[in-house]
Amino acid sequence: MADVGSVDVEAALVAWLKAELQVRVLTDLPAALVEVLPVVQIQRVGGNDDGLRLDRALIDVDVYATSRGAASSLMSLTRAGLLGKLRGARTSQAVFGLVRTVSAPAWRPYENPALRRFGATFEIYSHPVS
């Protein structure tokens, strides 16, 4: 039996979304963000577990782009992937289960007026592969 918390859900989601979206997906924003756009940022912001294997992570997903249209389109693709394709997917670390939207995509403020940020929060269930 795997230890509780043995799946790094952020790392597993970064790998899965990179393959799915073919864009830069990361957990920490680079200092020169404007030079690497578009970007999808994944951050675990909470959740809980069953004490055995099942992890219920709350994941913030923020999309950064140079225009509202580009940010909105990338968020739509990201959300469609998470809600429509992630359930049942496997990575080397995790098997994903239920995925649902906790907070629907919305514009989020960002200090650089040359960038647009669109974000949402998802609840994502996962457990270790073995």
pLDDT digits (tens, 9 = 90+) for 54-101: 999 999 999 999 999 999 999 999 999 999 999 999 998 899 999 999
What is the pLDDT, as a whole number, of residue 3? 63
Asked if residue 1 has pLDDT above 60, the reply is no
Question: Is residue 3 situated within a structural domain?
Answer: no
Domain count, the chain: 1
CB of 56 closer than 8 Å to CB of 102:
no
User: Mean pLDDT across the stretch 24-42?
Assistant: 96
The torsion angles phi and psi of 59, rounded to 5 degrees, stand at -120, 120
| Cα distances (angstroms) measured from residue 115 to each of 38, 76, 97, 111 | 10, 17, 33, 8
Q: Which CATH number covers residue 65? A: 3.30.2000.30
Residue 34 carries which side chain, given as an amino acid letter?
Answer: V
In-domain check, residue 2: no
Q: What is the DSSP letter of 111?
A: S
Specify which residues 55 forms β-bridges with. 49, 126
Q: Which residue in 99, 74, 72 sits closest to 88, CA to CA?
A: 99
What one-character-per-residue DSSP string does 64-105 give?
EESSHHHHHHHHHHHHHHHHHHSTT-B-SSEEEEEEEEEEEE
Instruction: Report the pLDDT value the prediction gives residue 2, as an integer from 0 to 100.
Output: 52
Domain that holds residue 42: 9-128
Contact 108, 47 (CB under 8 A): no
Give the pLDDT of residue 43. Answer: 98
Question: To which residue do tokens 């859900």 refer?
Answer: 9
Give the C-alpha separation, 86 to 6, whole Å. 19
- Distance between CA atoms of residues 45 and 8, nearest Å: 13
